[in-house]
Structure 1
Amino acid sequence: MHACPNDCILYRKEYEDSTNCPTCDISRWKEGKNSILKEGVPAKVVWYFPPIPRFKRMFQSHETAKSLTWHAARKSIDGQMSHPADFPSWKLLDDKWPEFGNEPRNLRLALSFDGFNPHSSLSSRYSCWPVILVTYNLPPWLCMKRKFMMLTLLISGPKQPGNDIDVCLEPLIDDLKSLWVLIRGVYDAHNGEYFTLRAALMWTINDFPAYGNLSGCVVKGYKACPICGDDTPSHRLKNGHKICYIGHRKWLPINHPYRRQRAAFNGKPEYGIPPEPLTGEEVLHMVENGDRVCWKKKSIFFDLEYWKSLPVRHALDVMHIEKNICDSIIGTLLEIPGKNKDGIAARLDLLNMGVKTDLQPQYGERRTRLPPGPWNLSRAEKREVCNSLFFLWYEGP
């Protein structure tokens, strides 16, 4: 599908025969040398791969059709969250829409969205954005296999769509609406019968910036916490030139000793209580009534009938939470060049905040010395940490 270079519209439906964008008036066609338009050559393309025909083909395989009802036939239910079928979102769909939950062949989906550089060159600024659907009806050893990860959209570059991703998602949302109503005449090869297929999108999985693009939540600046909102405890570092968020202790139990420790944190005790996350109905009410201090737009996912009722609508992927934070902690403990977060700027910021003033830099004639902090390890301790990490990597999980 042809798209506006500024991501204003897709040239479909009422705009199918248009040659200029009705919003920004930019031509649909690519501009060549001497500003000559190459008529017939689109300036930007969005590739859409409809998921409904592929869902039908999944049920035409006897083995795959049987696996798609694994969640209803499994016997090992031990009270642990080992599959999305154990999650509240899954059970909510069953309870609120029993006609949907009573058919185990109805599909539960997740959507993932991120950018990558197709040219394998770190110096290139070209960014291509795929949108992938995952089917959770399958057992855990199959649902994340490449065979069942369904590419539905491929948004060409060179620029990322950003907050205008909703325009590119329009055809997928239309198909998800159809899947929620019903798709007739789907053949189940395992049971040898035709049935009516329905599907629901349970949540999206992204990194934090992509989460902001899809949900419409502000993820930068002083109000970047999607849970705290207007009450986000933020502080701009004068030397580090970044914004830090220092109110994390309020999520600890009310009698936790860390709440009373002053010197180890920001010099103040913590008596606050954690805020309650906003429900989908509350978010929808805020964005529709113009209360957009912490929201940039109304997400296109609210066009789905069930979206506002889901307790979890967006999830953050594991890599950016666990791996990157672990890299920063290990880089600081082992003082790895380029990975160490403890430097002169960090010590000066601690001094400006009145925290750990005994660790301020000591300026000499030839170089600046940083007094060792409680997180600094000796050479023997660093060797022990490296040996432990090597052992974990060698043995595997």
Structure 2
Amino acid sequence: MINYVTAGESHGPQLTGVLTGIPAGLQLDIDAINTGLAARQGGFGRGNRQQIEHDTVQITGGVRHGVTLGSPIALTIMNRDHAHWAAIMDPVSPATATNTLRQVTRPRPGHADLVGGMKYGHRDLRNVLERSSARETAMRVAIGQICKQLLAQLDIHLVGYVQQIGPKQVTADLTLSVDQLQAQIAQNDLRLPDAALVPEIHELITATKKAGDTLGGVIRVVAENVPAGLGSYTNWDTKLDGQLAAAVMGVNAMKGVEIGDGFAAASHYGSQVMDEISWDEHAGWSRLTNHLGGFEGGMTNGMPIVVKAAMKPIPTLYKPLQSVDIATKVSQKASVERSDTTVPASIVVESVVAIELTRALTATFDGSNLARFQQTVTAYREELRQY
């Protein structure tokens, strides 16, 4: 099955990723990967860093003439802003009075600064914030876009969009297909399915930025045509909904994850929540509703997968909150780093969902070669249809 690792600091020379387990024979669309990276950087409410970085991926292993080889895929995203931080973030030069400028000793509430410093023994909290920065998610988006391309070869498609920014909730037609949702969110710079709300939310973001504050929100991801039976009920750690929840919670600033109706289901009767079963000779097994978000017993049931994530407001505030200097123990305002007012994290959550679905599929079927992978999944779908 696939696996991946990322490395690199926010202002270091580059981000590096290694992705293993992608079948041989997948024709990669590099432009599509870079489009995903651009979507991560775009959006109203982003900070000045995004005017410096213009993320593009370089593939340095595992691909030849645009086609995957089945070997580990090595990816690089250069940090253009490193030119301004070369001495401070030099990976090999010894520490000096010059290259240890911009030390951070006043941890930011809500960030990894203080606890990370306590855990790893760092006295300069820049050692923490450089890696805990959401800059790392650029590589997860690149990896996720490769996984999306593999899923598309199995006729599995997904999209992530914004359902809420701060207190402003967005009403979307939950019956829309992935293609329809994709078309709607492409029409605005907030990835909203309802363009009529864009001016109002632009005003909210502008006022929040002027106040030195930040906003969170809710993200919804929908994946269509995922075959039933991925994951397993046999052990707690084999339940795919649990693995998806963990992957989504692993995205910076996420504080809650729902599958399907999620927490809202707790306030309804069972008769209102359970998805009644249907069958016909052409489509096979299905459900009349999808309150459970495509999962039963930790396994996919063939219905669209629906994952929602709650993102807290970004912890770096331009009007900083109270903190304590770790060197002097004197109460002071927290450090201020360059930051966003809000971020289009839906592309990041979409990407990690794509990664986990790809992981489940390659763990279930022979993923050595794309053609064999497709044949096996097709045969499995037909087997389930005739069950």
Normalised by the length of structure 2, the TM-score is 0.24
Higher relative contact order (CA 8 A, sep 6+): 2
| Structure of higher CA gyration radius | 1
**TM-score, structure 1 as length reference:** 0.24
